[in-house]
Structure 1
């Protein structure tokens, strides 16, 4: 029973950074922007977060610094988008730059290349009152800090925000920016705020990796979690109601990969499990999009045929403007 609880606990902790990344991708996508720089924001948040936690001696200061770092990167993307820079090229450049910059800073100033482990206190565990005292749930809720619950609260908050006036404006900008601008919605400002918020959320996901979970930073600590978060958002069709189970698929796949390494299972197979889940998810998204496109085309075709099959309305015969002269008796 404890093994099951430990596995579920590991899956929840593995899901948390992926969920933050997926929410960040979802916010950007619903604003009409393809944000492929989530990976760099997660990695930058993990690195700056642990530096700030070590400098201030407070883990929450590290979380705030990580969120600020992600927001700054999001602001950079918003400005670049405003002046017409290709965001795909910029995102690839940011992902490479942040990875190499963290390696350089670790080698030059932190006295190492692979790992930076300062003496800091990880974020405190937050148990659920009464439930944490039960035999099964005590293992299930172990090592869960406030960021785990914050990730779930963020998904709920985004879903509720989309029902507000500001959220409707954001969705309108993502669906039809020209129509939104014509109706008076500030498109540029809405997209800027969306990218800044997405960057902050991704940065908090990085802080969970370094401060909330293990208390150290390793090279390439994000380990493609930003990309997996983008995939989870695509699998959820960019809907907040589906993003939590979508991220959970990848989180529990990663937890299963770690558990299988303790058994007589080839390591290549266990390491492929999360990437395999991502591949299957992308295939499902592609199939769904293709089927949805086919249904839309069939609907348009049937509508066109039904309109063509209707008989044209007959116009009344025009009355003669000349009258027959009456015969004179």
Structure 2
């Protein structure tokens, strides 16, 4: 199935792989996270003059950055897209106003995913799940990745028990194993019996997004409201984008202790995408939580195939 890609000055923008691909030579260039995000923002508003403040907020999302971060990222994009920094045919600096991406150099093209896929990606996990974890000792947070599919571990025969091992010790080991198995079975049964009900929160607030909190009977709804309060601005931003692309989104989340189980589905006219994430220590750094949600949503949105014309 064909997918729709942005093209700028004969460079195809492959957002999922974080790179741009030359349509003639096949050369591939890697872009940094914020360079790619800046390029995506300019593409979506091609022909519009973005102020420095707008770009800083849209790309770095309330992070504290240096005065040269934006100009340096603009310079890197110009170099990658083979744009002359003096003539500025593609990315233009508008004096005392901001920056503009010239729409004459932008277009959409459809390509088979196999034609665009980066060979290096073949060795990567198919669907990384972004997590929040704590740095040991500093109380901070960082993002890490884990495979959603269990890793298959080859069976290894247990080492032979030394003959000198006392039979009493072996008996204790067997009893401990049995008790542990019974306790694990009881725990799994208790969790299996817990029924979660989907409760829609903030209905009719967003035109193209429906939010559902998965809750057990009798559980307080304060945590669900806490999640919404942290993400409501991000939901507004996502809603604006998917509305323009005629995509609808359902979000389901469930809170267990320090983790947030967050699943969303995107439904377009010709394709569907879904992603499940487990986000640990999600309360610690709200800005990183918002960055993660909007980044992963945009990634899946860009993976959606466009309809073939008859």
**Larger Rg, first or second structure (1 or 2):** 1
* TM-score normalised by the chain length of structure 2: 0.24
**Which is bigger in relative contact order (C-alpha 8 A, separation at least 6)?**
1
Bigger strand fraction: 2
* TM-score normalised by the chain length of structure 1: 0.23
